Chains A and B, each alone.
Chain A
């Protein structure tokens, strides 16, 4: 005869660290976003350790192995000077990462400051800032970029600042819209009635509420900046050769030797597409999961 004895569960469930729990949740609820995240982190890893990972020197030429198709020695083939395409892609990833993060970071900060001031203060300030943004947005991006680059000359700092300003000012609209809708909420009045200063309210009450928008803005900006930088390099206005960027690899060897060595165009092109797509998907997933209001909604 057996007796059923109730045994209490041992000391509760094992506690996972919040970061692990969050990532597990992302894989469960947003598999596509999680894959995007993995690709994004592989990209970051490659960017950070590009110097170590690259099997050959970036500008190491090898006249005996020119325009070779991908092989075990050269996983992505070689270009017309016998340089290893994989090594150049890795260093290119590093540059894309640096430019992407710096410029998108700058753009996001500009968007937040302009958007919050404009949206929260309102009135004449809002009007002035918004008309300025309107005027700014009437300039075509590319024309502005070309003009400025041709004046100050190509280089990473210039590109970061210009792209940061360009996307930051345009993006302030989106932040402003979010701020205006948050400002009218009762809890901002409640915070005022509690004696909080304006800056405190902006930082502790408004900013967390527009964070979902900011996250998406930042991630889409990283993608957009990487693309814009590639576009500039394609036009020969980006980071000057022989530094390998994905854009210049596409336009230089990639275009010229498209028929002899299609891998020369495919490698940077595919990297660009996959990384930008992954960043966007990852950003969306992050936004959905980080917003407490969306929790448990699926």
Chain B
């Protein structure tokens, strides 16, 4: 296998806040190969969204990348100028946001918004882009696509809007699509449709997909590889299949155990992970998960474990008391 399409190396992102510097992402390394789906899993505040936003350089004014590189097809995105970065955004890397209700501009028609990326990045006349927008809407299974180009976002349901977002993301046939919790705001039945659609279309285009989610069920069905994040760090990464069969980090183990299962014993209470996710402004000196970890020992509270291979392609950050 050649070099990965996207290679994040030792990325650290900090935000200036009223409470001082907050390190939202700490020494994160990830890579995505061509045509591969990588799921980034974690709870709120684990740094997964910030990691995704920093790929596109969209972390805002009060955040900054303090360390690391983001190599996309050989170029370091953290060092690119504004214009070069703009040329990549929407064209070679597209993003789908969490809330379909607010990620479409309410005063512009659907057609205008879908045609926009093509008009911005391709040498297309507006009419051609608009016509292709109709084709794209049909491709994401919106009925009467050509007629609906003149509709406004409020005419669409949440699931339909997320389809529109997918159409926009696919418009320029990007090499990489970042979907930041694309189904969180949707009904459960619609979630599966949207994810299947996304998966099929990315497969057709041979695009890579970074799927950010907190839903392990989603991971199992759609991802090739998984990175689990906690407290701004990657704590375990392996193939999706292996993660379920053989979780090696106590947090991952807890996550998997806390998913309700059809073949579990009815009446048996679900397993939970006690405690609260860590405060990023005030991280413990040792392993961020140690205060909640039932295997934690003295060493865990003092030093941070680094990400080490437990087998081929399976890394975890744990001192490795053989709990599993």
Answer yes or no: A298 CB below 8 A from chain B CBs.
Answer: no
Are B107 and A293 interface neighbours, CB within 8 A?
yes
Are B106 and A196 interface neighbours, CB within 8 A?
no
Are B106 and A209 interface neighbours, CB within 8 A?
yes
Contacts between chains A and B (CB distance < 8 A), count = 77
Are B105 and A205 interface neighbours, CB within 8 A?
yes
Q: Could you list 14 examples of A-B contacts with CB < 8 Å? A: A122-B61, A186-B97, A187-B105, A189-B58, A189-B97, A191-B116, A194-B89, A194-B90, A195-B89, A195-B121, A196-B116, A205-B108, A209-B107, A211-B107
Tell me the bound Cα distance from A205 to B116 in angstroms. Answer: 11
Answer yes or no: A28 CB below 8 A from chain B CBs.
Answer: no
When the two chains form the complex, which single residue of B91, B106, B168 contacts A293, counting CB atoms closer than 8 Å? B106
In this complex, which of A195, A209, A291, A292 has the most chain B Cβ atoms within 10 angstroms of its Cβ? A195
Answer yes or no: A155 CB below 8 A from chain B CBs.
Answer: no
Q: How many Å from the CB of A78 to the closest CB on chain B?
A: 52
Are B152 and A292 interface neighbours, CB within 8 A?
yes
Are B102 and A185 interface neighbours, CB within 8 A?
yes
- Number of chain A residues whose Cβ lies closer than 8 Å to a Cβ of chain B: 24
Are A292 and B154 interface neighbours, CB within 8 A?
yes
B158-203 contacts to A, CB under 8 A, are 165, 168
Q: How many Å from the CB of A222 to the closest CB on chain B?
A: 23
Which 10 pairs show the lowest CB-CB distances between chains A and B?
A: A194-B90, A195-B89, A195-B90, A193-B95, A186-B102, A186-B103, A187-B105, A208-B107, A195-B86, A190-B103
Residues of A within 8 A of B (CB): 122-123, 185-187, 189-197, 200, 204-205, 208-209, 211, 291-293, 295
A194: B residues at CB distance < 8 A? 89-90, 94, 116-117, 120, 168
Answer yes or no: B309 CB below 8 A from chain A CBs.
Answer: no
**Complex interface bits, B277-307 against A, C-beta within 8 A gives 1, otherwise 0:** 0000000000000000000000000000000
When the two chains form the complex, which single residue of A185, A192, A291, A292 contacts B89, counting CB atoms closer than 8 Å? A192
B107: A residues at CB distance < 8 A? 208-209, 211, 291-293
Answer yes or no: B88 CB below 8 A from chain A CBs.
Answer: yes
B90: A residues at CB distance < 8 A? 193-196
B94: A residues at CB distance < 8 A? 193-194
Are A193 and B89 interface neighbours, CB within 8 A?
yes
B95: A residues at CB distance < 8 A? 190, 193
Are B121 and A190 interface neighbours, CB within 8 A?
no
B207-236 contacts to A, CB under 8 A, are none
A190: B residues at CB distance < 8 A? 95, 97, 103-104, 165, 168
Tell me the bound Cα distance from A1 to B97 in angstroms. Answer: 64
Find the A residue at minimum CB distance from B93: A193
B58: A residues at CB distance < 8 A? 189, 192-193
Q: How many Å from the CB of A244 to the closest CB on chain B?
A: 43
B111-164 contacts to A, CB under 8 A, are 116-117, 120-121, 152, 154
A196: B residues at CB distance < 8 A? 86, 90, 116, 120
B108: A residues at CB distance < 8 A? 204-205, 208
Interface of B is mostly: loop
A187: B residues at CB distance < 8 A? 102-106
Q: How many Å from the CB of B166 to the closest CB on chain A?
A: 12
Answer yes or no: B80 CB below 8 A from chain A CBs.
Answer: no
Tell me the bound Cα distance from A292 to B106 in angstroms. Answer: 7
B168: A residues at CB distance < 8 A? 190, 194
In this complex, which of A194, A196, A200 has the most chain B Cβ atoms within 10 angstroms of its Cβ? A194
B116: A residues at CB distance < 8 A? 191, 194, 196, 204
Tell me the bound Cα distance from A192 to B217 in angstroms. Answer: 31
Q: How many Å from the CB of A298 to the closest CB on chain B?
A: 14
B318: A residues at CB distance < 8 A? none
Tell me the bound Cα distance from A189 to B91 in angstroms. Answer: 15
Q: How many Å from the CB of A84 to the closest CB on chain B?
A: 48
A197: B residues at CB distance < 8 A? 86
B87: A residues at CB distance < 8 A? 195
A295: B residues at CB distance < 8 A? 152, 154
Answer yes or no: B9 CB below 8 A from chain A CBs.
Answer: no
Are A195 and B61 interface neighbours, CB within 8 A?
no
> Do A209 and B105 form a contact, CB below 8 Å, given A190-B97, A193-B58?
yes
Tell me the bound Cα distance from A195 to B89 in angstroms. Answer: 4
Tell me the bound Cα distance from A195 to B93 in angstroms. Answer: 10
Answer yes or no: B308 CB below 8 A from chain A CBs.
Answer: no
Answer yes or no: B56 CB below 8 A from chain A CBs.
Answer: yes
B99: A residues at CB distance < 8 A? 186
A291: B residues at CB distance < 8 A? 107
A186: B residues at CB distance < 8 A? 97-99, 102-103
Find the A residue at minimum CB distance from B151: A292
A195: B residues at CB distance < 8 A? 86-91, 117, 120-121
Tell me the bound Cα distance from A194 to B152 in angstroms. Answer: 19
Q: How many Å from the CB of A109 to the closest CB on chain B?
A: 20
B88: A residues at CB distance < 8 A? 195
Q: How many Å from the CB of A197 to the closest CB on chain B?
A: 6
Q: How many Å from the CB of B37 to the closest CB on chain A?
A: 19
Tell me the bound Cα distance from A293 to B152 in angstroms. Answer: 9
Q: How many Å from the CB of A205 to the closest CB on chain B?
A: 5
Tell me the bound Cα distance from A242 to B154 in angstroms. Answer: 56
In this complex, which of A208, A292, A293, A295 has the most chain B Cβ atoms within 10 angstroms of its Cβ? A292
Are B105 and A208 interface neighbours, CB within 8 A?
yes
Supplied contacts A193-B95, A195-B91, A208-B107, 4 more A-B pairs, CB within 8 Å: A189-B97, A190-B168, A195-B87, A293-B154
Find the A residue at minimum CB distance from B102: A186
Tell me the bound Cα distance from A295 to B58 in angstroms. Answer: 33
Tell me the bound Cα distance from A185 to B99 in angstroms. Answer: 10
Find the A residue at minimum CB distance from B56: A193
A191: B residues at CB distance < 8 A? 105, 116
